[in-house]
Chain A
Amino acid sequence: MRPLYRAWLYFVAWLGGMALWLFYNKGTALWWQPLAICAICVALFIVTERRGCPPGGLQLVSVLVLLGWVFLFRLDSGWAARQFWGFVVGAGAYLLGLLLPWLHPRFGQLAAVAALTLLVLALVFGTRISGARAWLTVFDTFTFQPVEFARILLIIYLGGELAQNRLNVKSAAVLGLFLLLLALQTDLGPALLVFLVFSALYFTISFSWLKLVLFLGLGTAAAAAAVWKFPHLRTRLLAWLTPWDFLDSKGYQVLQGIFALNAGGLVGRGMGEGMADVIPAAHTDYILAVIGEEFGLLGTFALLLVYVGLAFWAFRLLLEVGDGRLRLIGLGFTLLLHVQVLLVVGGILRLIPFTGMTLPFVSYGSSSLTAQLWMFGMLTRLGREQL
């Protein structure tokens, strides 16, 4: 066995052991779930390697998923239990992404249609559960967030279009329609994310300073319009600048996040010792604040290292991809993941206004986890020369 893999197995075993200890102390019926996550990860790992794809990224992702599960368990075992089933579905999505030719040029147009359809369905039939996010209910039992999948589909389409035809009217129209549909649902975090990733892809194929200035101007104008149009965005912006003046609304969340990080210090207060119950959305958008309070700077820094490692792995993989179109789509996937991490964490740290998205692979949310794993499967597939 190669040393890196062995280290990974040790780490997974350690996390599993930690989880076991947790159950032992709390006496829960969920003791088998982290072990099952480990087992599924190992299975996915073997399948990935058998298919000739680089499995390194999966090691890092499994660490994130386990860490997320452990913290969800610490917050509320019910969330952990549901997150486990989300991961089971996500593992299936990963395999589908790994084994099927999603990125075949023939499906490009279809991806755009699917992305827009999902958003329209969400707009028409969706219900809003937590503030801005739209949910779809299928057959009265299964709920999911269409936007998590729609943005990946859109990047598949835009990456392909940009690589083949540069920027044309059709792709610009699809992007504009997509952003408009998101704006109508007042879901502007994903809109910002998609716009940023699209700009990055566009500048990758044709860069000029004039265009950069144009995009910056366009983005600023759109942001200003959005802030002017939506009062809750204005609150968010002000809560970012002066959270003390907005203690009863969004400023409360911003402050609780940094209070939690500050309470963590270097080594944290220890598992279960933090005041996670006062942080709004502690299990989704603000899970980093909980990790920061209980594991301290060492914990959040380690988490950051895992994401940087994932970025390093992905970009090295992309260097090996010969096909320009696939490489551009792969870049889109990679940036979709990391820009989201940067926006969420930057928001928690008050470096930028908080945009309200999940921390990929760690936060609670089956749709988010499934979509991310599906995208990750497609990215891993690019490590082998095939469509």
Chain B
Amino acid sequence: MNGQMRRWFLGTAACYVIILGGLLYWHLAADLGTHSANPRYYRVFSEPRGTIVDRRGEPLAVTLGEEENFRRSYAAASLTHVVGYFHPRYGMTALERIYHEELLVGRTVQTTIDLELQLKVESLMEGRIGAAVALSPATGEVLALVSSPWIDGNVLAERWSEYSEDGRSPFLNRVTQGQYPPGSVIKPIVYGTALERELTSPDQIWNDQGVFRVDGRTVQNFGGRSLGAITTEEALALSSNTVFAELAVELGDDLLSVLRRFALGSEPLWELGGQSGFVPQRAYSDHNKALLGIGQGELLVTPLQMGMVAAALANRGVLMQPYLVQELRGGFRLRQITRPVELGQVLSESVAAQVRDAMVLTARSGTAQGVCSDEVQLAAKTGTAQAGAKGDHAWFIGFAPSPMPQIAVAVLVEHGGTGSAAAAPIGAAIIEEALKIWNREKGIR
């Protein structure tokens, strides 16, 4: 009988342990805070909320209105792709969602965005379909990020149906989610890899006939023109497909491993996430290799990734992790400051300097010639990626001022035509504006 009592007690205790398991699950493991039937989720929309500010403390997202009737106001329409929106009917996205818990207790989220530059980029991209991102090369701070067209967080309810029916997908953040063939903007990496492997030198002379034959197929220069006797450096500046196809065939799978070192083909680990793009495991034919060298074939990249590439070339070959939030403060909690994270030396410092020189040449006398004044000391590369019947994608990557770059930019205009005509002027204008702001602030300091 005593044994029986002990068994009943153990049985009861075991049942309580199962109950404890249920408690652990619902209290800690389950995540139901934003479930659509949870009234707690809706209550947060009637409470005041912390502010999201730019790098100088200018408000990007603030709560306006009276008690019980708050609404969120955003400083720029294009910020919806960065800061996100916060709306009782449509929920929350981007930073508003990621830092929801912090904002709820009144904390301030300070971003790396420069509102003045963001507004400039917004005006440059307005009416186009594309993406532009500006980074600080030394740290990876994102200074401006615009995906066009955008949705305006201030008038969501009024224009929601219009946005939903818009065939240009304004909800898509093209900077992180858009995957495109890079075209010629991949050439600086091919150039750097070839220099690193000592396959060529900047002043080696090539005879560009306009056509490169491989595997019984051909790779042609843009517009079929032949550039004649040019150095490797000039081949980059004038964007010779034949030279880079030949270099890529010789590099083979080495090129693919360097592309992966630049974090192409992997998802970016930062606040907004994003697509990985695509870098093939290996190239199966020489024609494939040749196509990789001119940024065509299977290769896919996002504008953010190309921005990171430009920033790494500007930062002496050191790739930095991009980030958007530099500080969380207020709300009776400890201040949290983000520290820049190095992703590694992707090209040696000397090779990176040679690539930079070739990109300076591109801006001085190559495909990006005359897009901005000489004082800017621009280093750039344009690209025109073949994208079917709707027209080519126009690319631009660049940074300035070239000896000590302060800003790196990537611009993509979907089906915009040539990189020189459609993307380079936008990229140059972004860089000029950023340097203007930077010089003004340096003057104040």
Q: A-side interface residues toward B, CB under 8 Å?
A: 200, 204, 244, 247, 252, 255-256, 258-259, 261-266, 275, 278, 292, 296-297, 300-301, 304, 307-308, 311-312, 315, 318-319, 324, 327, 331, 334-335, 338, 342, 345-346, 349-351
Contacts and interface: CB of A to CB of B under 8 A. Distances in A.
Nearest to A305: B16
Contact of A266 (B6, B8, B12, B27): B27
Interface in B1-46: 1-2, 4-6, 8-9, 12-13, 15-16, 18-20, 22-28, 30-33, 35, 37-40, 43
Contacts of A200: 8
Contact of B27 (A247, A297, A312, A345): A297
B12 A292 contact: no
A265 to B, nearest CB: 6
Contacts of B38: 255, 259
Given A315-B6, A331-B5, A265 B16 contact: no
Given A261-B27, A262-B26, A315-B5, A345 B32 contact: no
A331 B6 CA distance: 11
A263 B40 CA distance: 8
A312 B13 CA distance: 9
Contact of A311 (B12, B35, B39): B12
A258 B20 contact: no
Given A263-B40, A342-B16, A319 B23 contact: no
Name the residue among A278, A292, A334, A338 with the largest chain B CB count within 10 angstroms. A338
Given A263-B40, A342-B12, 12 more contacts: A244-B37, A252-B37, A259-B35, A264-B27, A275-B40, A297-B27, A297-B28, A304-B23, A311-B16, A312-B13, A342-B15, A342-B16
A264 B33 CA distance: 10
Contact of A345 (B2, B19, B25, B28): B19
Contact of B22 (A255, A266, A349): A349
Contacts of A301: 20, 23
Contacts of A319: 2, 5
A204 B3 CA distance: 11
Main secondary structure of the interface of A (DSSP, over half): helix
B13 A311 contact: yes
A370 B40 CA distance: 35
Contacts of A335: 8, 12
B22 A351 contact: yes
A247 B19 contact: no
| Smallest CB-CB A-B distances: 3 pairs | A349-B22, A315-B9, A297-B27
Contacts of A312: 9, 13
Contact of B19 (A266, A297, A346): A346
29 contacts: A204-B4, A204-B8, A247-B37, A255-B35, A262-B30, A266-B28, A275-B39, A275-B43, A292-B27, A297-B23, A301-B20, A301-B23, A304-B23, A308-B16, A311-B9, A311-B12, A312-B13, A315-B5, A315-B6, A315-B8, A315-B12, A318-B5, A324-B1, A327-B5, A331-B8, A342-B12, A345-B22, A346-B19, A349-B26
Contact of B23 (A204, A275, A300, A342): A300
B18 A261 contact: no
A278 B27 contact: no
A247 B38 CA distance: 11
A297 B25 CA distance: 10
A325 to B, nearest CB: 12
A262 B32 contact: yes
Nearest to A318: B5
A351 B26 CA distance: 11
A117 to B, nearest CB: 31
Nearest to A293: B40
B185 to A, nearest CB: 47
A244 B27 CA distance: 19
A268 B444 CA distance: 49
A350 B19 CA distance: 10
B359 to A, nearest CB: 52
A265 B27 contact: yes
A346 B16 CA distance: 9
B33 A262 contact: yes
Contacts of A327: 1, 5
A292 B23 contact: yes
Nearest to B25: A349
A266 B25 CA distance: 11
B13 A308 contact: yes
B47 to A, nearest CB: 12
A312 B5 CA distance: 10
Contacts of B32: 258-259, 262-263
A266 B37 CA distance: 22
B136 to A, nearest CB: 37
A278 B39 contact: yes
Contacts of B28: 265-266, 297
A247 B25 CA distance: 22
Contacts of A259: 32, 35, 37-40
Contacts of B37: 244, 247, 252, 255, 259
A279 to B, nearest CB: 10
A160 B139 CA distance: 81
A296 B24 CA distance: 10
A315 B5 CA distance: 6
Nearest to A257: B26
Contacts of A278: 39
Contacts of A324: 1
Nearest to A203: B4
Contacts of B15: 338, 342
Contacts of B23: 261, 292, 297, 300-301, 304, 349
B164 to A, nearest CB: 24
Contact of A351 (B4, B19, B40): B19
Contacts of A258: 26, 30, 32
A70 B33 CA distance: 26
A296 B20 contact: no
B331 to A, nearest CB: 16
A296 B27 contact: yes
A301 B2 CA distance: 29
B16 A304 contact: yes
A261 B26 contact: yes
A300 B27 contact: yes
Contacts of A350: 22, 26
Nearest to A328: B1
A258 B30 CA distance: 9
Contacts of B1: 324, 327
A262 B4 contact: no
Contacts of A261: 23, 26-27
A349 B30 CA distance: 12
B39 A342 contact: no
A318 B40 CA distance: 46
Nearest to B16: A308
A244 B37 CA distance: 8
Nearest to A307: B16
A266 B23 CA distance: 10
A318 B12 CA distance: 14
Given A255-B37, A351-B19, A351-B22, A262 B12 contact: no
